[in-house]
Structures are given as structure tokens and as C-alpha cells.
Amino acid sequence: MSEPLAERMRPQTLDDYVGQDHLVGANGVLRRMIESGRISSFILWGPPGVGKTTLAQIIAHTLKVPFYTLSAVTSGVKEVRDVIARAKQGRFFQEQSPILFIDEIHRFSKSQQDSLLGAVEQGVVTLIGATTENPSFEVIRPLLSRCQLYVLKSLEKEDLLKILHRAVDKDPELCKRHIELREYGAMLRYSGGDARKLLNILDLIVKSTEANEVVITDQLTESLLQTNPLAYDKDGEMHYDIISAFIKSIRGSDPDAALYWMARMIEGGEDPQFIARRLVISAAEDIGLANPNALLLANAAFDAVMKIGWPEGRIPLAEATVYLATSPKSNSAYLGIDAALSEVRKSGNQPVPLPLRNAPTKLMAELGYHDGYKYPHDYPGNFTPQQYLPDQLKSLRLWHAQHSPSEERLYQRMLNCWGDRYKE
């Protein structure tokens, strides 16, 4: 059976490698390192299909060193130790350490990552890790401190077209057919900047056409991919693009667009809990005090999905989506807490005013703790003016109402209570 097109077209040298000029271009840090003949351990962070594995293989081939590879999905501590042992045995006459490439290193547990530390620190192996997740959150600090971090970017349109034309012109199998790239917009759109996915799409189109002459158009691509799982990659960049479109449609009060993007996620196999969590966040961040019921409904939808699962779970998710999209919007609470956090970081630990302090002991009471506190429920309207902020910040304003119908009532109450302090 023939290798997949993406594997047949995998570059073998840096000159054939497409993209990432900031790393492997004429003055790129990795190119300079490779040309010097020695590399240190590093981690490649970037979206799927931008050349992380290919780059590791090219480095090993160029330096002519043993290349070991592990997948964090299928390998445990035992496999890591076995590879390290083999690397030790095969390094007697090697100037450069063998390369250990670990794909999806973010999925390694702490114990698995711990098992790498000694070998990396002693130079038994040169570690090259690949991850689609932020290493700061997923890779343990001792291992991260022993590795450089290089960020790979999504491939640009020009990069993808170069890969596409090279495959059509140079792949031995495709050269047997007459292929015309009449239109390629849909191919680029479905690939989402992922070179491997782009080549898989090209391969699918060619194999689905029996005639020797293949004319690729957007209509042909869309007809073949409309039910194809390639249209949504829940672990890749399109995952983040579509959830972003979903949330922005809710924020922009467009229920039709919000339902469409949610349907895209459902059809693509997205975790329903992920969708439900984002609805809860949106209810708090974007609807907020303009409609406090939104957070209640989003939470109820989350609970319903947990109880009833798929496919019926789509109904409460849709109900919450439409409700949030059609609700009035306010981010005053979101802005307020961010302003408060900023003030705390700037002004530090300001002392709590004495009337607000707890006085559980006689000594504390004698020192004036709690002294002068006015219990609001003892006053008309359950309110009386008194200072609640630290002395240096007593005039601080953090929450600013946005005057939606619901929030306007809250604002008017604050005006009645505090007067000029709340005049905008």
C-alpha cells in the first residue's frame, strides 16, 4: 500500500522545509545551531501540521545522529527509560547526543517528565519536544528550564500554495495524473493552516476522481468535504477559531450565527462539556448584570448536559445559546474585577479599616477592632454611609454601570445610597 501523500512529501532538508523563516531562515536561530553541528534540548510549540516532527527529523538527518521517537499518547515511564538506556549504549563514538523526539509532550504525566530530567541534564539525549499546548502550563518547570522554547506559526497562504504545487508537480503518484488547480480557496480554508491536512485533502480529491484528468474547484472540494471529519479538528487551530466565532456571535447578539457555530462544533465531535463551560463564562463575562438570569440558565444547561448526555444535550445547549445571544449585554462586572485586581497589584496590601475588622478577642476589641462599625440593617432602607475601602483608596471607583434596563436599577440605587460618588 502506498504511503499517504503527506508522508511522501515530508521534506528531508531545510532547503525543502516550508515556513518558520524566523527559526530556519537565513539567520534563524535553529539554522545557525544546526550549521554549527551542535544543538541543545528544546521544545517546539505550535498548531498541528506546521512541521514540528519534520523539523526534528531534518535536524537528526543533518547531524547524522540516532533519532528516537516516543508518543506521549502510547508511551509510559518504562518506554522512556528503555530509550534512554539504548541512547547510552549507542553513544560511545557519537560527538552529538542522540535525539529523543517526544510528540505531544504536554500529555506526559509528571512522573514521565521527571524520568527525562537526568538524561537531559547529563546530555545522554538531546530532547526535542513537540506540543500544541502552552508549555508553561503543561511541562514541569525543571524540564522546561533545561530546554529552549521555540514557537512555530501557522502557515501562511503562500506557504500552503507552495506545498500544494510542489505535491502536484513532484509527487511520483500525482505526476501520473493530469491535475489542474483551477480553484484552491476551499482547500486552504478547510486546511486551517495545517500542511498535513491540506495534503490529505488533495489526496482525497485525487483518489475520489476516476478520470486521469482532475480539475480541482472549490465546489468539488466542498462537495467531498462537507461531511468529512477534516472540516473540524477539535484538537487543532480550527477548534479555537470556531469557539471564538461562537462566543463572539453570542456577544454580538446574533443567535443564528451562534447556533451555526455550535452546530459546527457538535458535528465535529466537540466535547459538550466544553461548549457548556464556554456558555457559563459568556453569561458571566458578556451578559452579566444586564440579565443576571443568563448565568442561572447557562449553569442549568451545563447540569442538564451532564445528566442527559448526547444527543439530547444539544437542546438545552441551544436554548442557553439563543437566550444568551438575545439577552442585553454588559461586561461591567468583568471590567470591575479586572480594575480591582490591577489596583491591588499597584497599591499592595492596604490595611483594613478598624471598624471593618473582626474582634474575636478582648484585646482586639480594646485595640479598636470593629469599633465604630454601623450595622446597615439597623438603618432605614438597610443602608447607612460609612467607609468600606482602605483610607488611601476611600474614593476609589471600580464598578461603572453600563445602563442596560436591569443594570440601570442597580445604578440608581447606588446613586440614592452614595450620591455624588456614583455620578459618572
What is the full DSSP assignment across 151-164?
EPPPPPHHHHHHHH
CA distance linking residue 161 with residue 289, whole number of Å: 48
**pLDDT tens digit string along 21-72?**
888 888 888 888 888 877 888 888 887 778 888 888 888 888 887 788 877 6
Which range has the worst mean pLDDT, 111-120, 343-352, 357-366, 392-401? 357-366
Helix 272-282 vs helix 237-251: crossing angle, to nearest 10 = 40
pLDDT for position 238: 57
pLDDT for position 229: 45
Averaged pLDDT for residues 135-149 = 79
175 DSSP 8-state letter: G
**pLDDT tens digit string along 274-303?**
889 889 999 998 988 888 899 999 999 999
Nearest to 96 by CA among 60, 68, 70: 60
Confidence of residue 363 (pLDDT cuts 50, 70, 90): low
Write the CB contacts of 376 (distance below 8 Å, at least 6 apart in sequence). 382, 383, 384
3-state secondary structure at position 124: coil
CA distance linking residue 332 with residue 422, whole number of Å: 14
Grid cell in block for residue 293? 438570569
Averaged pLDDT for residues 349-362 = 73
Grid cell in block for residue 262? 455550535
**pLDDT tens digit string along 150-195?**
888 878 888 888 888 888 888 888 888 888 888 888 888 777 777 8
pLDDT for position 93: 52
Residue for grid cell 454601623: 374
Residue 230 CA to its chain's centroid (Å): 19
Alpha helices, H only, 124-236: 135-138, 141-145, 157-170, 185-191, 195-207, 218-225
pLDDT for position 228: 47
pLDDT for position 295: 92
Averaged pLDDT for residues 223-234 = 56
Count CA atoms within 13 Å of residue 132 on its CB side: 18
Averaged pLDDT for residues 323-345 = 86
pLDDT for position 239: 63
Write the CB contacts of 145 (distance below 8 Å, at least 6 apart in sequence). none
- Residue 101 · residue 119 · CB < 8 Å: no
Confidence of residue 231 (pLDDT cuts 50, 70, 90): very low
For the chain, percent of residues with pLDDT exceeding 70: 90
Grid cell in block for residue 139? 511541562
Count CA atoms within 13 Å of residue 50 on its CB side: 25
Grid cell in block for residue 161? 500554495
Q: Phi/psi of residue 213, each to 5°? A: -95, 125
Count CA atoms within 13 Å of residue 33 on its CB side: 18
**pLDDT tens digit string along 245-284?**
888 988 888 888 889 888 888 877 777 888 898 899 999 9
User: pLDDT at residue 312 above 80?
Assistant: yes
Q: What is the pTM of this model?
A: 0.53
Grid cell in block for residue 27? 539567520
- Residue 246 · residue 278 · CB < 8 Å: yes
Identify the structural domains of the chain with CATH numbers, from first to last: 19-151 (3.40.50.300), 157-231 (1.10.8), 237-326 (1.20.272.10), 350-422 (no CATH)
pLDDT for position 283: 92
Using CA of residue 336, residue 337, residue 340, residue 345, what is the dihedral sign? negative
